[in-house]
Amino acid sequence: MEHTLKTRAGRSTVRVGFLGGQGEIGKNCSFIEHDGQIIVIDCGLTFPEEDAFGIDIVLPDLSFLVERARDVRGVFITHGHEDHIGAVPYLLREMSVRIHATPLVLGLLKPKIEEMKVRNYQVDPVRPGRSLEVGPFEVVPFRVNHSIADSVGYVVKTPLGPIVHTGDFKFDQTPVDGEVTDYQTLADFGREGVLALLMDSTNAERTGFTPSERVVGQHLRQIFWNRPGRILVTTFASNVHRIQQVFDAARSVGRKVGVVGRSMSDTVEIASELGYLHIPPETFVDIDDLKRLPDDRVVLLTTGSQGEPMSALARIANGDHRKVEIRSGDTVVLAATPVPGNETLVARTVDMLFRQGADVIYEPTSGVHVSGHASQEELKMMLNMVRPKFFVPVHGEWRHMVRNGQLARDVGILDEDIYIVENGSVLEFSRERGRLAGKVHSGQVLVDGLGVGDVGSVVLRDRRQLAQDGIVLVSVAVNPDSGEVVSGPEVISRGFVFARESEELISEARKRTKQTIVDLCADGRKDWPALKTKVRQTLSALFQERTKRRPIVIPVILEVPPSEAGRPSGGPSAGSSGGDGSGRH
């Protein structure tokens, strides 16, 4: 039975909890607790659904960590993708905690943290294979391959046995940087005995093995050789290995590369300074200098692989980028696949690029993108190397985690030792048994501009209703003594109906509003809140009956003192028609 967790983990048990990333792509954040002390693994964000109007990003609810701030010994980051690091600056605004991550991750995090005006924060660069003591834990980072350089998983050694968190991973036998997964460390811990394995579930539905990142470089060279015009390549700004291969392919065919988009420029600068990108100076040029080169010697590396409306590629596709415009003969290469939920945005961008005259290479079979996540055979290989007592699928939608659990069952892990859990769940392990120990507070925090958490479900529901059915504002001036309507009702519609084409409906709304006021004020009662509620209900019923739509109805009752009742009102009179077509009546 699930219940709210109120006790702390003692010395005889270890707890593993999840604040995000379970049953969803993004917001990855988990914690391990022993003897009342906690370490956190990853602290990411996700991006909103299309119907989350005005929302910029979505964070996990971190209130549990903030409440237990004295017990949190450190945050360990597996790699530099936004769904694993994006919430770190927001956490640091609420509490002081040391961030442990590889140098590239810290380089990507620094401007994000400083942009949030967090000044006094502590970081600790981690190196694969170099263990460190944190509270009652010994944490051992180990190298993994992923779609961003400097990715690691963590072995967290506890007095009850090691817990392995893979982070996002795949087994790439020919990685671009030559750094293969640390099989030796995983196998060694597997032989000694692993208490629990937390493993990436993203590609658990895909059979076979995920191809090597080097495959992309081979296809890029072929495209760069065979296309006569300019080539625009878009990929995730964080995919340093993909960026390296774009520069390598361009150099091999004598093309020059210019970078478009702030996040891509920042990544190229940071990764180059830290030694993760090796770019020949003669290959990298300013985009203004590219204009002086023949089209067949130009490559533009840009952001916007997910169709983000304000990204460089989307603005280029729409023809409103100030420095780059599509020409006939251009080739655009989408070296990425849409994140679930972004398919429509990507399709829209592709369509606009074709309209502008470009040839777009975006098909999954084109070879210009490979996943950074392990497929089924690699997942089974990880399970067989680690041989955990308990298994917990992480990082994936529910179907991904269920399929990952099935893979664990296939390699011999018992059903009762496989835990598929949702956000907020806390698992408790002893040496012999595991159980669902209860729940901690979890959920999502919506970020809208500078507001963090001030947009809740009610506001979001209103925004959706406004987008779907619009709004109707009804204002009327009433004598507070007699209840007589002095001016109005005036009806203003936005996003509901066009005034000139709906004269009869607007007129009926005014009529029913006036009659409602007369009826409620007939007995001398002046209950304005009740009057507003009744007007809202009356008009909502009318609009539903006539249009099958339910706009937001906002009544405004103005009290006009008897001494002013005979004077002309400052606003439009009850008979004004709003002939400007603005919807005013």
Every domain of the chain and the residues it spans: 14-208+371-451, 214-366, 458-564
Q: Name the residue with higher pLDDT: 560 or 38.
A: 38
Tokens for 416? 């009762």
298-302 vs 256-260, strand pairing mode: parallel
Active site residue 56: no
Q: For domain 214-366, give the CATH superfamily.
A: Metallo-hydrolase/oxidoreductase (3.40.50.10710)
pLDDT at 181 over 70: yes
Q: In the prediction, which pLDDT does 503 show?
A: 73
Give residue 574's pLDDT.
34
Give the model's confidence band at 569: pLDDT under 50 very low, under 70 low, under 90 confident, else very high.
very low
**Per-residue pLDDT tens for 380-402?**
999 999 999 999 999 999 999 99
Q: Is 22 helix (H, G, I), strand (E, B) or coil?
A: strand
Cβ atoms within 10 Å of 355's Cβ, excluding its own? 12
Helix axes of 262-273 and 240-252: crossing angle, nearest 10 degrees: 90
pLDDT at residue number 249: 94
Angstrom distance (rounded) from CA 492 to CA 506: 9
Assess whether pLDDT exceeds 80 at residue 275: yes
- CATH-assigned architecture of domain 458-564: Roll (3.10)
Confidence of residue 1 (pLDDT cuts 50, 70, 90): very low
Say if strands 388-394 and 194-200 run parallel, antiparallel, or are unpaired. parallel
Closest to 232 in 3D by CA, of 267, 213, 257: 257
Position 7 pLDDT exceeds 80: no
Beta carbons of 445 and 59 less than 8 angstroms apart: yes
Place of tokens 């990333």: 21
pLDDT for the residue numbered 578:
35
List, for residues 498-526, the tens digit of each pLDDT value: 555 567 777 777 777 777 776 776 665 66
Which of 272-281, 400-409, 515-524, 563-572 comes out lowest in average pLDDT? 563-572
pLDDT of residue 580: 36
565 compared with 29, residue with greater pLDDT:
29
Please check whether residue 55 is in contact with residue 455, taking contact to mean a CB–CB distance below 8 angstroms.
yes
316-338 average pLDDT score: 90
pLDDT at 448: 62
Residue 566's identity, in one-letter code, is: G
Of the chain, the percentage scoring pLDDT greater than 90 comes to 58
| pLDDT confidence tier of residue 529, bands split at 50, 70 and 90 | confident
pLDDT (0 to 100) of residue 557: 76
Average pLDDT over residues 314-336: 91
Mean pLDDT (whole number) for 212-219 = 93
How many Cβ atoms from other residues are within 10 Å of residue 225's Cβ? 12
Do 131 and 138 meet the contact criterion of CB atoms below 8 Å apart? yes
CB-CB neighbours of 2 under 10 Å: 13
Q: At residue 42, what are phi and psi to the nearest 5 degrees? A: 70, 155
Q: What integer pLDDT is reported at residue 124 of this predicted model?
A: 95
The model's pLDDT over 421-476, given as tens digits with 9 standing for 90+, comes to 999 999 999 988 999 999 999 988 877 655 565 455 555 565 565 666 677 777 77
Closest CA to 526 of 471, 478, 574: 478
pLDDT at 532: 77
Q: Which residues contact 171 (CB under 8 A, 6 or more apart)?
A: 145, 181, 209, 210, 374, 378, 381, 382
> Which tens digits make up the pLDDT trace of 284-324?
999 888 889 999 999 999 998 888 888 899 999 998 888 99
d(Cα 480, Cα 483) in Å, to the nearest integer? Answer: 5
Residue 563 has pLDDT above 70, yes or no: no
- Count CB-CB contacts under 10 A for residue 366: 14
Answer with the residue of higher pLDDT: 306 or 573.
Answer: 306
Whether the Cβ atoms of residue 412 and residue 391 lie closer than 8 Å to each other: no
Please state, rounded to an integer, the average pLDDT across all residues of the chain.
85
Residue 185 in this model has a pLDDT that exceeds 70: yes
- Answer whether 321's CB lies under 8 Å from 294's CB: no
| Identified catalytic residue from 200, 330, 448, 469 | 200
Contacts of residues 434-440 at CB distance under 8 Å and 24 or more positions apart, as own/partner, are 434/196, 434/390, 436/2, 437/5, 437/15, 438/2, 438/3, 438/4, 438/5, 439/2, 439/3, 439/4, 439/5, 440/4, 440/5, 440/17, 440/19, 440/64
395 is catalytic: no
Can you name the CATH fold of 14-208+371-451?
Metallo-beta-lactamase; Chain A (3.60.15)
Quote the pLDDT of residue 187.
Answer: 96
Distances (CA, A) of 422 to 57, 88, 200, 426: 21, 21, 15, 9
The position carrying tokens 């970020």 is 447
* Structure confidence at residue 88 (pLDDT): 95
Least confident span in 179-188, 222-231, 571-580: 571-580
| 92 contacts 121 by C-beta, under 8 angstroms | yes
Contact 431, 161 (CB under 8 A): yes
Could you report how far apart the first and last alpha carbons of the chain are, in Å?
Answer: 58
Say which of 373, 395, 400, 585 is annotated catalytic. Answer: 373
Helix (H) or strand (E) holding 459: helix 457-469
Span 11-27, average pLDDT: 93
Element (H, E) at 178: none
For the record, the structure tokens of 215 come out as 């495959």
